[in-house]
Chain A
Amino acid sequence: MKRLFVGFASLALIVALSAFTPAKTPKKENSQPGSSFSMPDSVKAIVDHSCFMCHNSNARGDAKDKLNFDELSSMKGPQLVANLANMAKMIKNDWMPPRKFLKDHPEMALTAQQKQVLLEWIKAENNKIFSEN
C-alpha cells in the first residue's frame, strides 16, 4: 500500500513538474528556404530580452495577435513588410515595451542604442524584401 502511494505521489510530481516547465518551441533556423528573412544575433538578443516575453505563441494576453516573433520568420511579402514597419513605428514612438509594463520591468526598456540596432535591421530587411520581389 505504502509503495503504491509513493508510486502515485512521484507520478503526480512528475506530471506537475512537466506542467510547469515551459513548453519547448522548436528553434527556427535564422533563414528559411523561400524567404531570406534573417535576424542577426545582435537583434535577436534585444528581441529576446525586451519583446519576446509577450510576443510569442505561448504568451498570455493578446500582444501575440499584433506581433508574434514565432511566426515572423515564416512571413513573406506585404505581411512581413507591414509587421516590420509597424515594429519600427512602435520603437520610434516609444510605444513598446508599454510604459505600464516597464513600471514592473524597468530593465526591459530599450536603450537608444538598442533602438538604433532594431531600426537599422528593420530598414535593411525591408529594403531586401523590396529588392527581391
Chain B
Amino acid sequence: MKKRNRKLWRYLFGTLIVLFVVIQFIPVHKPKVIKDNPNDFLLNTKMPAHVASMFQESCYDCHSNQTKYPWYARIAPSSWLLASDVTEGRAHVNFSNWTKMSKAQQIAALSDIASEVKSGDMPFWAYPIMHPKARMSKADRKELVDWAQKYQNEIFYSK
C-alpha cells in the first residue's frame, strides 16, 4: 500500500514537471515595451515631482507602454497572468497616449484615478505585494486624489 502511494506521488510529480516544461512553449502575447513616449501623461502635465514618481511606480507597469517586466514574466504560467494584466490595463487607460486622448477621455481618466485610488481598488491588491514601491500611504493617496480632482476641473474649464 505504502509502495503504491509513493509510486503515485512520483507519477504526479513527474506529470507536473512535464506539464511545466510543455507550457513554456505556448506562445504568450506580451504587450511591447516602448521607451520613448512623447505623448506621455507625466511628460505633459505638471504633477508635483514626488507624486509623479509615486504614480509612475504604482501605475505605469500596466497603464503605460513603459512596462518593467520582472523575471517571472518569462516563465509560464506567471507570464500569462502578466500578459493579460498589462493588456487589460493598457486597454482601460494607457498614460503613454495622454495627449492623443480627447478632453472627455482625459477627464474620465482623472476621475477614475481619483475614485480608484481613493477607494483603494487601484493599484490592484496583488500588485504591491510584488512591488513594494507601489505601496501608497494614506497621505500619498490623498495627495494624488486631490491633484487629479483639481486637474480634472482645470481641463474641463480650459478652452
Contacts and interface: CB of A to CB of B under 8 A. Distances in A.
Interface string A74-99: 00011101111110110001000000
B107 interface: yes
Given A93-B91, A130-B103, A85 B156 contact: no
Contact of B153 (A78, A83, A126): A78
Nearest to B111: A82
A133 interface: yes
A74 to B, nearest CB: 17
Interface in B102-132: 102-105, 107-108, 110-112
Nearest to B114: A82
- Interface SS of chain B: helix
B111 A79 contact: yes
A126 B104 contact: yes
Given A85-B105, A93-B91, A133 B156 contact: yes
Contacts, number: 41
9 contacts: A77-B153, A78-B107, A78-B111, A78-B152, A78-B153, A82-B110, A83-B108, A89-B105, A130-B104
B157 interface: yes
B107 A82 contact: yes
Interface string B3-45: 0000000000000000000000000000000000000000000
Which of the four size classes fits the interface of chain B? 10 to 19
Contact of B108 (A81, A130, A133): A81
Interface string A120-133: 00000010001001
Instruction: Identify whether the interface residues of A are mostly helix, strand, loop, or mixed.
Output: helix
A81 B104 CA distance: 6
Interface in B45-75: none
Nearest to B93: A89
Given A78-B153, A93-B91, A84 B111 contact: no
A85 B108 contact: yes
Interface in A4-57: none
B122 to A, nearest CB: 13
Contacts of A85: 102, 104-105, 107-108
A4 B157 CA distance: 67
Interface string B140-157: 000000000000110111
Contacts of B153: 77-78
Given A81-B103, A89-B108, A133-B156, 9 more contacts: A81-B107, A81-B156, A82-B107, A84-B104, A86-B111, A89-B92, A93-B91, A126-B104, A130-B104
Nearest to B108: A85
